[in-house]
């Protein structure tokens, strides 16, 4: 029992170390972008870092929200529902010759794929992307004041 708790702690601690490493790599990338902006313009280095951090945080929030909210998969489903296209994802092409040759059109709700996209499964990557976005914004705000 003690060994399993210890191994579980090691797994979670290695995950947190990996997340912290990725976050720090993001800060390094933000610093490089800020340095390029500082050298290419008349902006102060602190302002360049602050605005770069704000922009990166906003992108992380948008990316995390799109993936976690299911909005990354909606475009195809919404376009198909708009034009009345048929989703062939659930068709059994191998075993049903009529479906394979296009002789049978199975009746489906065109909005089903859109509904599935709005209720996605849990996505920890999207959650941590949004958390990183909030942290990058929190780090950038003091540099822009």
Instruction: Record the tokens describing residue 94, joined without a space.
Output: 């191998």
* This prediction's pTM: 0.62
Which is more confidently placed, 65 or 130? Answer: 130
pLDDT digits (tens, 9 = 90+) for 5-47: 545 555 567 777 888 888 899 999 999 999 999 999 998 999 9
Residue 10 lies in a domain: yes
pLDDT digits (tens, 9 = 90+) for 73-123: 555 555 555 555 555 555 555 566 665 666 655 555 666 666 665 566 677
**pLDDT band, very low/low/confident/very high, at 126 (cuts 50, 70, 90):** confident
Residue 55 lies in a domain: yes
Q: How many domains is the chain built from?
A: 1
Residue 80 lies in a domain: no
Range of the domain at 25: 2-73+120-144
Residue 49 lies in a domain: yes
CB 124 within 8 Å of CB 41: no
- Nearest Cα neighbor of 144 from 46, 68, 56 is 46
Residue 8 lies in a domain: yes
Phi/psi of residue 5, nearest 5 degrees? -65, -40
């Amino acid at each position: 029992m003690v060994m399993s708790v210890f191994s579980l702690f090691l797994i979670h601690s290695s995950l947190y170390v990996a997340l912290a490493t990725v976050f720090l790599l993001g800060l390094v990338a933000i610093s490089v972008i800020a340095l390029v902006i500082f050298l290419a313009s008349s902006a102060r280095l602190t302002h360049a870092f602050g605005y770069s951090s704000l922009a990166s945080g906003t992108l992380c929030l948008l990316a995390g929200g799109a993936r976690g909210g299911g909005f990354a998969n909606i475009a195809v489903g919404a376009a198909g529902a708009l034009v009345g296209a048929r989703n062939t994802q659930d068709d059994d092409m191998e075993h049903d010759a009529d479906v394979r040759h296009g002789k049978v059109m199975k009746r489906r709700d065109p909005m089903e794929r859109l509904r599935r996209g709005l209720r996605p499964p849990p996505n920890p990557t999207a959650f941590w992307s949004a958390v990183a976005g909030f942290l990058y914004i929190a780090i950038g705000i003091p540099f822009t004041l």
